[in-house]
């Protein structure tokens, strides 16, 4: 079964909605949230330090790096400022993502192929700082191949299109359009692994759609945040994390349609 890294950005989103200038005293404190997630079974903690600091702050990153007892994953734009931050903080994994000031959350994968020289430079600097370098990319062969050329260690496949198809078709695997989206993710994962990189996945995964991605052959890690934080409002973060682990485990045993059953075979 893949590992689960819990993204706690939206704990900070709730804090910043009320305490934009309260320094260390706003609540809920994202730094405290990591502990509950770890107790619930999280194998790692993810945060995205945005250029505008709209939710996670530098203080959060510094404290989390010191306190997290599992794996600390820092999502970041490929800017000089963020590379310098990663070099100082030294997260276990630095994941490069595209970033737009007007987006609510990251939408779409990083265009590694379109900026390959820059990506090579950033990856080299992250490696020099002792960080594993990860790229958040679409399920596209061109981007997978470019990530390998840039020197990335990990590719996280963007599962947003799959999640959208799952919602549109009610999770009905008799619908070819949904099977096609699952297949894209699985095949991108196979290409990533074939090139010697680690295959992770994430974006818009929830308790209903996670099973088919957790079942993807060779997927090493899932990054899930909003669904867990949302459920935690009702159940608590520890229980919400445990329930996601259970949902991932259930996905390992669910029956697959013939079109997918053959995808996982060598």
Q: Which of 48, 55, 158, 223 is catalytic?
A: 48
For 202, the token pair is 């994430």
- Buried (b) or exposed (e) across 200-226, using 16+ Cβ within 10 A? bbbbbbbbebbbbbbbbeebbbbbbbb
Closest CA to 83 of 138, 29, 133: 133
**226 assigned to active site:** no
Residue recorded with tokens 């990533």: 192
User: Which among 203, 221, 223, 243 is annotated as catalytic?
Assistant: 203
**In the annotation, is 99 catalytic?**
no
User: Choosing from 36, 38, 55, 75, which is the catalytic residue?
Assistant: 75
**Does the annotation count 203 as an active-site position?**
yes
Q: How far is CA 65 from the centre of its chain?
A: 17
Retrieve residue 246's tokens: 């259970």
Do 184 and 140 form a contact (C-beta atoms < 8 A)? no
**Distance in angstroms (rounded) separating the CA atoms of residues 49 and 83:** 11
The residues annotated with a catalytic role in the active site are 48, 75, 203
């Amino acid at each position: 079964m893949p590992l689960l890294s819990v993204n706690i950005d939206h704990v900070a989103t709730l804090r910043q909605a009320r305490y934009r200038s309260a320094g260390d005293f706003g609540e809920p404190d994202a730094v405290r949230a990591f502990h509950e997630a770890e107790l619930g079974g999280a194998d790692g903690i993810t945060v995205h330090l945005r250029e505008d600091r709209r939710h996670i702050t530098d203080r959060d990153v510094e404290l989390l790096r010191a306190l997290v007892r599992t794996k600390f994953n820092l999502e970041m734009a490929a800017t000089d400022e963020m590379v310098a931050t990663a070099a100082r903080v030294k997260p276990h994994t630095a994941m490069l993502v595209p970033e737009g000031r007007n987006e609510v959350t990251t939408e779409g994968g990083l265009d590694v192929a379109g900026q390959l020289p820059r990506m090579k430079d950033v990856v080299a600097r992250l490696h020099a700082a002792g960080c594993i370098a990860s790229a958040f990319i679409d399920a596209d062969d061109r981007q997978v191949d470019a990530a390998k050329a840039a020197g990335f260690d990990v590719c996280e496949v963007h599962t947003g299109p799959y999640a959208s198809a799952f919602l549109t078709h009610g999770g009905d695997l008799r619908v070819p359009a949904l099977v096609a989206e699952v297949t894209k993710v699985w095949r991108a994962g196979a290409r990533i692994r074939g090139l010697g990189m680690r295959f992770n996945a994430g974006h818009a995964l929830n308790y209903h759609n996670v099973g088919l991605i957790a079942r993807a052959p060779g997927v090493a890690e899932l990054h899930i945040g909003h669904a867990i934080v949302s459920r935690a409002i009702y159940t608590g973060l520890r229980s919400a994390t445990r329930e996601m682990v259970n949902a991932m485990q259930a996905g390992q045993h669910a029956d697959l349609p013939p079109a997918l059953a053959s995808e996982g075979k060598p």
